[in-house]
Amino acid sequence: MNKLAMEIESILFTANKPVKVKQLAEALDATAEQIATAIQELVTARKDSGVLVLQKDDQIQMATNPVTSPVVKQFLEAELRSRLTDSSLETLAIIAYKQPISKAAIEAIRGVNCQYAIRHLQMRGLIERVGSDDDKRLILYRTTLEFMKHMGLKDMKELPDFAELTAKVKIPNDIIPEQPAADGTAAPADNLQATDKDPVTPASTPQ
């Protein structure tokens, strides 16, 4: 492994969060092409180790190898669940499988106001806001590299099969998902049921 690849590896390990290629180029006084070459060398060198190098768009981060995911998931799921409510986990699952997705679409699926859950997931760094190519005014949500790290995923295609996953989920009796309107948006807020389990005000009251 050459010196530049080693330096990138050290920065990624120290940062413990996604780092942009531009940041690496500036920090190491190298061109984007040199950084890209070094990253590929680092990816190859670490492909059979317990820690891999993930790349999503222009962001790079170190993460555990999917081969070790059973034990890592067992450890992290307990940690993640201790920090997230059932409501936040449900919202995160919807975003993971439907991304990019709008707040209105999430609420149409869950049948409750998801503003608190979305804000909570953003604070945890598990989801992020992105724009829409079709409507510049529309805000969409998607998962982050931090989410992949927590789930022990090398690629989002490695998410469990949705049908298999949902077959194991028991939907609480007090949650009755509303039907989305013809345009795919959620029904008016006053029709939403205040069944969100997060410790906030009733769902119909904006935060």
**What is the tens place of the pLDDT at every residue in 13-47?**
888 788 999 999 999 999 999 999 999 999 899 88
Q: What is the pLDDT of residue 77?
A: 65
Tokens of 37: 């070459």
Other Cβ atoms closer than 10 A to 115: 18
Burial class (CB in 10 A: 0-12, 13-18, 19+), 106: buried
Task: Say yes or no to pLDDT of 66 above 50.
Answer: yes
Task: Say yes or no to pLDDT of 147 above 60.
Answer: yes
pLDDT-based confidence at residue 78 (cuts at 50, 70, 90): low
Q: What is the pLDDT of residue 57?
A: 80
Task: Say yes or no to pLDDT of 74 above 60.
Answer: yes
Residue labelled with tokens 């986990």: 89
Highest mean pLDDT among 71-80, 101-110, 132-141: 101-110
Tokens of 148: 């992949």
Can you list the domains of the chain with their CATH numbers?
3-64 (1.10.10.10), 69-191 (1.10.10.10)
Looking at every residue in the chain, the average pLDDT score rounds to 77
Question: Residue-wise over 5-18: b if at least 16 C-beta within 10 A, else e?
Answer: bebbbebbeeeeeb
- Which stretch of 30-34, 86-90, 98-102, 106-110 has the lowest confidence by average pLDDT? 86-90
Sequence-separated contacts (24+) of 135-142 with Cβ below 8 Å: 138/102, 139/102, 139/103, 140/99, 140/100, 140/101, 140/102, 141/95, 141/99, 141/100, 141/101, 141/102, 141/103, 141/106, 142/95, 142/99, 142/100, 142/101
Phi, psi values for residue 127, rounded to 5°: -135, 165
In angstroms, how far is CA 1 from the centroid of its own chain? 31
Predicted TM-score (pTM) of the model is: 0.45
Tokens of 145: 């590299």
Number of H helices, E strands in the chain: 9, 6
Q: Which residues contact 173 (CB under 8 A, 6 or more apart)?
A: none
